[in-house]
Structure 1
């Protein structure tokens, strides 16, 4: 009886060992089933950066042999570097045709999402809504005190983005038109602007939607009492928005092509919305490089 029991235990042990070995083998296969390899360096728009980083992490999990690196620097830097061939992807908030010094004919545009942009103020500012004309007057320097637009007697502290910023280009095209922006403090990224506005009384600037949600110390302004929401962007009821572009020099190939394609998977639409962007498929309108909006 004892001998039979020992034999049974030995058989169970062997079976268990075999099962463990199969499970490890299956896990190893699951982790290495993607044969995609390579490196993808995406540089440019800080408005697109949070989304590109999140999608990059998911993509890398699915393709462990691909190294994805996302950096900011502004749309101008992204377009310049991808044109020079020093990066695989140039992230931009604007069409390449809109940037001086960029030969759009050698670049291929891959739109991956839509970004809404809104004027933001420090939370001490009492004004809640402005007309487009009032907003223009503030950013061109005609209005310098909040009491001129219905607020309290407080000097307006103007914060702008640097000249190469795509976020700035989208904002100025929609709000200033051909008018010249007033001289103001300039910052290189959405993140820096976010910090300055939240800690500087009387200040105003503009941010991509993803940098506004859940932030303390600042709030977005309405335009003619219309709120800056994804719903309003979809129909162009909120007019300050643009595409998030990922440019490549020539056609995208290999790991770069797969990374860009990943943005269009149904499984990542939730991340796009969660981070404050709008999936391309949800837009009811389109916009061209000249800013002309057409209903789909």
Structure 2
């Protein structure tokens, strides 16, 4: 009888205990916002140096950098496949909002073993126009100059046409290659080759001085290098960017962002 009484006493005590509290719901993870930024191939090293610092500074924003030809990138921008474009070239008639984020330098590139140290702008124009055809006229070896140029729609090609060639046309004998990497590879493989690229991207080739000045972050920032050119952030619309895109641009133009830019390029602020 005593055992039965103890059993009911314990059963009643257990029944009177409050149920354990319901644990709070787990916070719902917010998916990061993804930005797709097109980058002209000649200035793609800019994307390389800003990717990690921005990822560390950004709050739930992921940036995917897409290399390409400027004309193709702008077409993708208009089609909604990209959120913005970084390029050294703004096409005529452009109605999209744009703003500079860095200063770069258009550079002439030759084979690493080429003894020529530099050219004047007038010489560069004469060479690419086909009026000067032998390296010996420039202080080099007695061999024909092999011209390497860029494909139609290249932003760097357009900058070269505007800043170096002006009203002159590039010789029909120039080899037009797609992409900055292909151009540099062709120049690096041919001791007689001459091409053009952008400061910061010209690896594996010899960068020639222009009018006695070499391209460097300091000389493009003070614009003493004659072929200094801005790198622009180009928005999809005529309005300033907003939301995550505005966050990215604000960081890129901030003191922290410009410090990163200054590793390989000239700062705009």
Question: What residue number does 1:8 align with?
Answer: none
1:94 aligned onto 2:84: no
Identify the match of residue 202 of structure 1 among 185, 192, 198.
192
Is 2:55 the partner of 1:63? no
- Residue 116 (structure 1) aligns with: 105
* SS of equivalent to 2:65: strand
- Three-state SS of the structure 1 residue aligned to 2:133 is coil
Is residue 124 of structure 2 the alignment partner of residue 135 of structure 1?
Answer: yes
- The match for 1:170 is 159
SS of aligned partner of 2:108 = strand
Q: In the alignment, what sits opposite 2:7?
A: none
Secondary structure at the counterpart of residue 196 of structure 2: strand
Q: Choose which of 245, 249, 264 in structure 1 pairs with 2:253.
A: 264
How many residues get paired?
239
Q: CA deviation at 1:36?
A: 8.9
Is the counterpart of residue 244 in structure 1 residue 244 in structure 2?
A: no
1:224 corresponds to: 211
Q: Which runs of 5+ in 1 are unaligned?
A: 1-31, 282-296
Flag the 1:171–1:93 CA change in 2: closer, same or farther, 3 A. same
Look up the match of 1:187.
Answer: 177
Query: Rg bigger for which structure?
Result: 2
Native 8 Å contact 1:122 1:200 kept in 2: yes
Comparing both structures, which one devotes a greater share of its residues to helix?
1
Distance 1:59 1:232 in 2: 26
Distance 1:270 1:168 in 2: 28
Per-residue Cα deviation, 1:74-127 (whole angstroms, up to 9, x for no partner): 22122222223221012221124x2xxxx622x111321111111011022221
The partner residue of 1:104 within 94, 116, 136 is 94
**Cα distance in 2, alignment partners of residues 79 and 219 from structure 1:** 31
Write the distance in 1 (CA, Å) between the matches of 2:167 and 2:31.
47
Aligned to 2:268: 280
TM-score, normalization: structure 2? 0.80
